[in-house]
Amino acid sequence: MDLNVKQSGIHSCVPHVSYFKNRSGKVYKRAAERYLRTDLPCGLAQCAACKDFGKNPLLKTENPVKNSLVGRHVLIVDSTSLIRFYDLFDSELLRNIIVTQTVWEGVKAKAIPAYKKINALCYEEALDRFHVFMNEFHFETFSEKPKFEDLSRGEELLISTVHYLAAHWEQQNVIPVVLVFDDDSKQRIKKHYENVFYLKEYIQNIESPGKQALLDQMAAYENSGSANEKQIFDEYLSHDKIMEGIANGSIKRGTFSVSRENYREATVIIDDQLNSWFITGSNCNRSVNGDVVAVQLLPESRWTCPEKKIRLRDVEEYVKTADDMGNEEDDADDEPKAKKSKKNTVPTAKVVGIIKRNWRQYCGMLLPSTVKGAKRHLFCPAERLIPRIRIETEQAEILSQQRIVVAIDHWPRDSKYPLGHYVRSIGEMGSRETENEVLLLEHDIPHAPFSEAVLDCLPREEWEPDLSENRGPLPRVDLRHLTICSVDPLGCTDIDDALHCKQIGDDLFEVGVHIADVTHFVRPGTAIDDEAALRGTTVYLCDRRIDMLPCLLSSNLCSLRGEEERYAFSCIWTMTSSADIQSVKYHKSLIKSKAALTYEKAQEIIDDPKETDDVAQGLRGLMKLSKVLNARRTGNGALTLASSEVRFDMDWESRTPKKVMEKQHLDTHSMVEEFMLLANISVAEKILQEYPDCALLRRHPVPLKESYKPLIEAARHRGFEIIVESGKGLADSLNRCVDTKNPMLNRLLRMLTTRCMTQAVYFSAGTVPVPQYQHFGLACAIYTHFTSPIRRYADVIVHRLLAAAIGADDIQSGLLNQAKCTKVCANINYRHKQAQYAGRASVQLNVVRYFKGKVETCEGFVMGVRNNGIQVFVPKYGLESIIVLQPGSDTAIDVEEMAVKVNGEAVIRELEPVTVRVSVNEKNQQRPRVELQLLKPAIPGLSVDFDLSSSEGLGL
């Protein structure tokens, strides 16, 4: 070999042959050259021979935790231990760990979750505890031919590495220790190397009380049930049989969705037309909400229908002990009885296999057994759609006062509950910090501080705009002379949008929407762009905001603050007084907002005839045109829906709510909304014209007629007819639903309409048929999001597409890739949904905090009647709770007529007002809850209630 090659660190070149199998099962041979090296670091900080070869973090400082089995040592872990127990390696008790290249590749091939965790530990989270040793490229540790007949290839390469390191570290008095999964592996390897322990053995001999938590995490694997136990669930079909069934249509694939009202019922959507099959009881067959499952239709004689009964796991926790719930034998009441009447039955199926698990780590609380000395306990996840999880721990007394994280390991056929293990504690139960952390973790909200790499992408704080600074050939337009202003909620600091309106002719107006030019600062392929893409959206909680972009951009340099020059992306129309658009143009611009107004202040200016300056005239022009635009949209069938939004007046020092206020709608809200909608539609048309196969758009699918059934029935009981054949028919029929005796009726029906809707989603043009591009709720053929790039990553993508379309910037190659665009859409759809859920959960959490120590009488409205209770909505606080009813001899519930009857007379009907007392029930210290008590009409037999406003238990 040439001298210059040897000096480069290459020792030799060897041929390497490997074999792999493709999807059809055919085996292929792959031949390649492998260059073995002399300059790969061993990882030991004290090793003089390797100090110049790279980072060597191991034993940089002496390990403070000793082990009675061995002295000064470094751990080398096998792949099975990492795959089965990867959560354990978060612990600081396990230090100075080498992951060999062979083990790394084995974990990557067999278990993606374990691989992601180990990758994060080695390269992000625990750089001082882990080192990756490239044993298959080191000339001392690579071996082409087998040397030990009794060892697998992986074990042999592990032994080669250990032998090399033992000799290499002899002068440093450091012992390589091999950790394996079980005793069998230990006995095989111990024939060739002495210092081998199985993982549990090593942990048991750690000289630290913290080892008990690690042993608890391992416990679930040791008791998975006996073969002689009664089997509760059917065995899953084999993968081949499932694939064969999917191919011939006898088996369908879909996502398992648990009912929010009855945890023993679920549905699976089986096709693109959103048809679904109903699943109940043991037919759910160990499925967890979100799993991708294989389902098979039952014979029609076994079809059933929803119970129309409220069954919430949270309610059970008030009337049953943990031991009652944990009794595997006590199953008599667990199985919903099949309907004897075949009236209203629906296609009913059973789960025959799991295609993809949706398991993750769950936050929640321990329900400790009352049996003294018990090790097996139930864990209750914060998300009520997830089943309780059985774990083993000897720390139940301590953990019962904390919020903890638990992971599911497996779910045997003989177990009523999945088996899992304790991962870590979050904090003290009831503290604001702990409960907020639970909320963020449960909704998978990225909330860590921005990394140094992200912050390095920011401009200096003293940055000032420069009109000559361009990213593309098209110059930036100076619009500082225009009277532009922004209108936002009180306290808003991330101001995305501003507007202007001026008359330029007898019946001609120039109207502009100016959006923060985020893409000037957030460039493709940078760390800040990657982080924004991951976060997807800014998340708004009651007491904090989790930004998509660092504060320097979101609240300063990008924010269109009053009297400050800022870069913008402008969409400017020329239109008549009847809002007929004559022309539209787009360009990057430099603006200076004349005023940053709140909705309330803007409304005052418009309504005050004494206000006559340019800002007031511009606002009045915008208001007149917005009303024309709104009338046109609603005339086309756009829906006006309603929600239960409330907002808090917060004490920002203690971060506690002082006052809960229902959001008031002003004309200025509609004014801004109309022009944002117009900008989004105009930009959608432009980018679709330029990029018909990869434009990022937003669509709202037409709901199935079946999904309107609750709305139609509720309106029918109040004497109204709902037309669902078209959007316009629906909008017009909702407008007719007015009851002078019950002014809230129309709003309640619009809330029910919202619940019938499918969710709007982002998508890449070209991935669905063009007729499906439509946005049903807005009654427009094409739509996107352009107006909020500070807080939505979708808008950032749209800005880049529009800039490329008008020649203001170069096109990023990834934007033209439909597959990449689809992947981006999937992430931002998920992040957008989770952000909405997190916001709602934050409201409910703060309602509980607000009502601690308070009792208030409020007006509520009945939103639903079930076989065992009524669903009540309290508009003042955005609360929607269940009051469970125990019918007596004089009290009956008629779910067909949606009424509660006493002595045959209806005293409560759906959508009618009731009077309730609102308070917080703190009998269960683990889970305080908002409680409603019915005052009027008074009916005997009403008992507990529970909050349904979010998918999580409130859990303070």
Give 772-796 pLDDT, tens digit per residue.
999 999 999 999 999 999 999 999 9
**pLDDT for 217:** 73
Backbone phi and psi for residue 388, each to the nearest 5 degrees, phi listed first = -65, 155
Residue 950 has pLDDT above 50, yes or no: no
Q: Which CATH number fits domain 239-329+339-429: 2.30.30.60, 3.40.50.970, 2.40.340.10, 2.40.50.690?
A: 2.40.50.690
* % of the chain at pLDDT higher than 70: 91
**pLDDT for 283:** 95
Q: What share of the chain is helix, strand, coil (3-state, %, to 5)?
A: 30, 30, 40
* Fold equal for 41-206 and 852-950: no
Say how far apart CA 141 and CA 156 lie, in whole Å: 10
Say how far apart CA 377 and CA 400 lie, in whole Å: 10
The mean per-residue pLDDT over the stretch 594-601 comes to 95
Say how far apart CA 208 and CA 707 lie, in whole Å: 58
Say how far apart CA 615 and CA 500 lie, in whole Å: 8
How big is the CA angle at 587 (ends 585 and 592), to the nearest 5 degrees?
115
Say how far apart CA 357 and CA 353 lie, in whole Å: 10
**pLDDT for 157:** 87
The mean per-residue pLDDT over the stretch 596-604 comes to 95
Q: How far apart are the first and last CA of the chain?
A: 70
Residue 941 has pLDDT above 90, yes or no: no
**pLDDT for 393:** 86
Q: CA torsion 453→454→456→458, rounded to 10°?
A: 170
* SS3 (DSSP) at 921: strand
Give the H/E segment covering residue 841: helix 818-851
Of 878 and 912, the one with more pLDDT? 912
- Residue located via tokens 């992040």: 831
CATH class, domain 41-206, is alpha beta
Give the H/E segment covering residue 406: strand 402-410
**pLDDT for 406:** 93
Q: Which of 512, 675, 676, 508 is nearest to 578 (CA)?
A: 508
Say how far apart CA 737 and CA 181 lie, in whole Å: 67
425 - beta bridge partners? 404
Say how far apart CA 952 and CA 381 lie, in whole Å: 9
**Interhelix angle 793-805/667-690, nearest 10 degrees:** 50
**pLDDT for 951:** 41
The mean per-residue pLDDT over the stretch 915-930 comes to 80
The answer to whether 401 and 429 are in contact (CB under 8 A) is yes
Say how far apart CA 733 and CA 428 lie, in whole Å: 51
The answer to whether 278 and 349 are in contact (CB under 8 A) is yes
Task: Say how many C-beta atoms besides its own lie within 10 A of residue 322's C-beta.
Answer: 22
Helix and strand numbers (H, E) in the chain are 24, 39
Tokens read off for 519: 């893409």
Task: Say how many C-beta atoms besides its own lie within 10 A of residue 135's C-beta.
Answer: 25
Task: Say how many C-beta atoms besides its own lie within 10 A of residue 886's C-beta.
Answer: 12
Of 326 and 59, the one with more pLDDT? 59
366 - beta bridge partners? 379
Sequence letter at residue 803: A
Residue 337 has pLDDT above 80, yes or no: no
Determine the longest span between alpha carbons in the chain, in angstroms.
Answer: 102
The answer to whether 795 and 788 are in contact (CB under 8 A) is yes
Q: Looking at 270-401, which runs of residues are DSSP E strands? A: 276-280, 292-297, 349-356, 361-367, 376-381, 389-392
Residue 291 has pLDDT above 90, yes or no: yes
Of 737 and 238, the one with more pLDDT? 737
Residues contacting residue 554 through CB under 8 Å, at least 6 positions apart: 493, 494, 538, 547, 548, 790, 791
Backbone phi and psi for residue 623, each to the nearest 5 degrees, phi listed first = -65, -45
Residue 23 has pLDDT above 70, yes or no: no
pLDDT grade, residue 657 (50/70/90)?
Answer: confident
The answer to whether 367 and 322 are in contact (CB under 8 A) is yes
Q: Which CATH architecture has domain 852-950?
A: Beta Barrel (2.40)
Tokens read off for 429: 């139960």
Question: Hey, where are the domains in the chain?
Answer: 41-206, 239-329+339-429, 452-691+784-834, 852-950
**pLDDT for 892:** 83
**pLDDT for 288:** 95
171: left (phi over 0), alpha (psi -120 to 50) or beta: alpha
Residues contacting residue 478 through CB under 8 Å, at least 6 positions apart: 467, 589, 590
**pLDDT for 239:** 84
- Residue located via tokens 């979100």: 290
**pLDDT for 6:** 45
* Pairing assessment for the beta strands 361-367 and 349-356 based on DSSP bridges: unpaired
Say how far apart CA 107 and CA 105 lie, in whole Å: 5
**pLDDT for 925:** 62
Task: Render pLDDT for 191-225 as a digit per residue (tens, 0 to 9).
Answer: 889 999 989 899 999 998 888 878 877 775 555 44
